[in-house]
C-alpha cells in the first residue's frame, strides 16, 4: 500500500504517469453511486406501480420520498460508500487516470 504522502505525490505530479489523475473523476465520487442507487430503487418502485396514475409526477415524488426515507437509516450503505474512497483513489492512481472498476 502507498503511504498517504506517496499517494499525494503521485496524484499531483504529471511526470509519474504522463498525466495527472483528474480531480473530477467520477471514480472518486461515491455520491454518484448513491445517485444511481436512488434512481434504481425509484425505478423499481415505479415499475411495480399499477393503475391510472402510476406514471404521474405525484407517484414519482411519493416513491422518491419513500426511497429517501429508507436510505436515511441505511448506515451500512453510507459506511460502505465512504470506506470505498481509499480503494477508489488507489484504483485511479494505478490506472493513471484511465478506466477503473468503480
As a whole number, mean pLDDT of residues 16-35 equals: 61
Give a yes or no: residue 100 inside a domain: no
pLDDT band, very low/low/confident/very high, at 82 (cuts 50, 70, 90): confident
Residue recorded with cell 492512481 = 93
pLDDT band, very low/low/confident/very high, at 91 (cuts 50, 70, 90): confident
Give a yes or no: residue 21 inside a domain: yes
Supply the mean pLDDT for the chain: 76
Q: How many domains does the chain have?
A: 1
Give a yes or no: residue 64 inside a domain: yes
C-alpha cell at 11: 496524484
Give a yes or no: residue 88 inside a domain: yes
**Would you state the pLDDT for residue 11?**
43
**Would you state the pLDDT for residue 39?**
94
Which residue did the predictor score with more confidence, 28 or 20?
A: 28
Contact 54, 46 (CB under 8 A): yes
Give a yes or no: residue 71 inside a domain: yes
The model scores a pTM over 0.85: no
Give a yes or no: residue 67 inside a domain: yes
Give a yes or no: residue 32 inside a domain: yes
Give a yes or no: residue 8 inside a domain: yes
pLDDT tens for 35-58 read 889 999 999 999 999 988 888 999
Q: Domain residues for 64?
A: 4-94
Amino acid at each position: 500500500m502507498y503511504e498517504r504522502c506517496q499517494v499525494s505525490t503521485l496524484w499531483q505530479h504529471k511526470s509519474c504517469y504522463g498525466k495527472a489523475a483528474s480531480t473530477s473523476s467520477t471514480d472518486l465520487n461515491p455520491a454518484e453511486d448513491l445517485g444511481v442507487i436512488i434512481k434504481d430503487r425509484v425505478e423499481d418502485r415505479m415499475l411495480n406501480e399499477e393503475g391510472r396514475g402510476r406514471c404521474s409526477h405525484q407517484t414519482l415524488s411519493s416513491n422518491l420520498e419513500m426511497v429517501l426515507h429508507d436510505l436515511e437509516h441505511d448506515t451500512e450503505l453510507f459506511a460502505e460508500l465512504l470506506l470505498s474512497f481509499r480503494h477508489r483513489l488507489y484504483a485511479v492512481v494505478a490506472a493513471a487516470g484511465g478506466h477503473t472498476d468503480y
